[in-house]
A and B are shown apart, each in its own frame.
Chain A
Amino acid sequence: MNMPAPTSHTLYWNQLPVPFHPGETIAAVLSRGGIRQWGDAVGGLQARYFCGIGNCQACLVCVDGASPVEACLTPAQDGMRLTPALAASDVVWSAR
């Protein structure tokens, strides 16, 4: 895999450091890093990348513990700490 040098920009998926190029979206950074299951989603599904243009809402993640945003729209920033949008307890009500 062709990754940027480790001295360059880094964000964190849970605790895992992931390097990126400035200007890339969070979704592109995670995808290139081979991370594509972005936590639990409603209905027993997984949060994941799908439409790439903010329409499907499947790629929501939390940045630094704040409210969820679309990973496909949000630019990566140095030191960002990304976590799944929903805690497992949030999705229990609709589990089949």
Chain B
Amino acid sequence: MTTQPEVLIVGAGPAGLAAAVELASHCVTSLLVEQRDQVGGAIYRRHVGTGSVTLVMPEHHRRRRDGLMQGLTDAGERVTRWMQSVLLGVDRDGRFLIDNRRLGRVQSVRPKAVILAVGSVEQVSPREGWELPGVVTVGGLQVQFKETGRTPTGPILLAGSGPLLLALAAQLAAAGNPPQAVLEHAQPLASMWWQGHAVVQALRSWPQLQEAALYARELWRARVPYLMGWQVASVQAKGAGLLVTGQHHSGLRRQFQVQHLGLHDGLRPNTTGLPAAGQTDAACIVFAGDCREVLGAGAAVDDGRKAAQQVMRYLGHALADDLRLDQAIATARRTQSALAELFQAPSNMPSANTVVCRCEGLQRADFDRLQAAGSARELRLVGRFGMGACQGRYCAGAVSALAREHGVVFDPGALHGDTPRWPLRPVALTALAAYADDDVVSS
């Protein structure tokens, strides 16, 4: 084999791409592993349908995306790409096991330096009926819309909390199928009155303001009701669609008959099953972008570059600290925390017949029957919470909150356990059987 890439990058979203481009610009080679057949991640998901589609999206996003794509082209062979390849886990010898689905076999990489850039996980709190087909995450609706260029057919309702609801509502409206309403659990406008400092912090970010204005104008034009202080109380299957019951914090209720319900309660770093960040003589593992800290696509680009520089220093390159990157990341952090304050929504406990664990269909009532469970470990091993295929990504928050009610306190991450469960993703036995002990080792 020819010279091996020096750095492994997992994830080709904004952070991973920025890292690869930054490394290449210093003549450092990398292996970029991406689960889809396209680079760009969820945020830069490419349109593959017919005709042209104009996505309502601020200009700075477009510029950054185009810059990264150009950078990747310029990097040429300095970036080796494995597409349709997913990280299955890391073994005890530090081998990164990757299911190369394009080749139909598992391959291993034993790198000296790794940049993990696997983005975020959408948080969705359990509600009665959220496990039904037709109930999807707002991000899930958005990536399909970007990919196909078509809005889902039939009435749509968006609910939960945060700026992403506004973004998708505006994009759907501009494409001709505005949502029936947006149910925002928080009360961002009211918060502005009694949290003036948060407004001031948010106002300091001109791109964010532009973005908000862009979306607001689109919603206004399409007359989409933006209902604050409202949440989804329950969802029922009705005919081929969904009957959604919305509830205002005053107790007022209203029903929506829709085909699609998009839910979103925020984002958190996607770290489940990954090794810890750190640096030893043997290896250096760095997290970059939303999987380190959820700061959005713009900051992810800066964070990817920063991670690349950190890795290069570890590999012995003399590089000065780039203070501009730190400043840009700090600015994004300030804006995000101000937004988080404005969109602070009260937490809700699931009702008895609400599914908590989506993988195994376990309900709140199943949880309550586990009175004796005194730890995250028991809840997992006896109750099977967090034991399913998603490895607790979508239930750990709710399980931790429920346990706290019973006086059992643990961090949501603890539900996964100390030992990473392998494999992180489904892998074919034929792909495992095709594994050959031919590590791609970087020098």
User: Which residues of A are interface residues toward B (Cβ below 8 A)?
Assistant: 1-2, 4, 21-25, 27-28, 31-32, 34, 36-38, 41-46, 48-58, 60, 66-70, 72-75, 94, 96
Provide the bound-state CA to CA distance between A14 and B50, in Å. 26
Provide the bound-state CA to CA distance between A56 and B272, in Å. 12
Q: List 22 A-B contacts (CB under 8 A).
A: A1-B153, A24-B49, A28-B147, A32-B150, A41-B361, A43-B359, A43-B362, A44-B361, A49-B136, A51-B122, A52-B136, A52-B141, A52-B144, A56-B358, A56-B394, A57-B390, A57-B426, A60-B426, A67-B429, A72-B140, A75-B36, A75-B84
Main secondary structure of the interface of B (DSSP, over half): loop
CB distance from B278 to the nearest CB of A (A): 24
Provide the bound-state CA to CA distance between A60 and B425, in Å. 11
**Which residues of the partner chain A approach B142 to less than 8 Å between Cβ atoms?**
52
Q: Contact between B139 and A51 (Cβ–Cβ < 8 Å)?
A: yes
Q: B353-396: contact bitstring with A at CB < 8 Å (1 yes, 0 no)?
A: 00101111110000000000000000000000000111001100
CB distance from B175 to the nearest CB of A (A): 12
Identity of the chain B residue whose Cβ is nearest the Cβ of A44 in the assembled complex: B361
- Known: A53-B119, A69-B101. Is A34-B153 also a contact (CB below 8 A)? yes
Partner of A53, one of B38, B143, B428: B143
Q: Contact between B148 and A32 (Cβ–Cβ < 8 Å)?
A: yes
Q: How many residues of B are counted as interface, with CB atoms below 8 angstroms from the partner's CB atoms? A: 53
Main secondary structure of the interface of A (DSSP, over half): loop
Say yes or no for B413: interface residue by CB 8 A criterion.
no
Provide the bound-state CA to CA distance between A59 and B272, in Å. 19
A-B CB proximity, top 8 nearest? A43-B361, A23-B48, A52-B140, A67-B428, A57-B389, A48-B133, A52-B143, A36-B133
Identity of the chain B residue whose Cβ is nearest the Cβ of A2 in the assembled complex: B150
Say yes or no for B244: interface residue by CB 8 A criterion.
no
- Known: A21-B50, A45-B131. Is A67-B427 also a contact (CB below 8 A)? yes
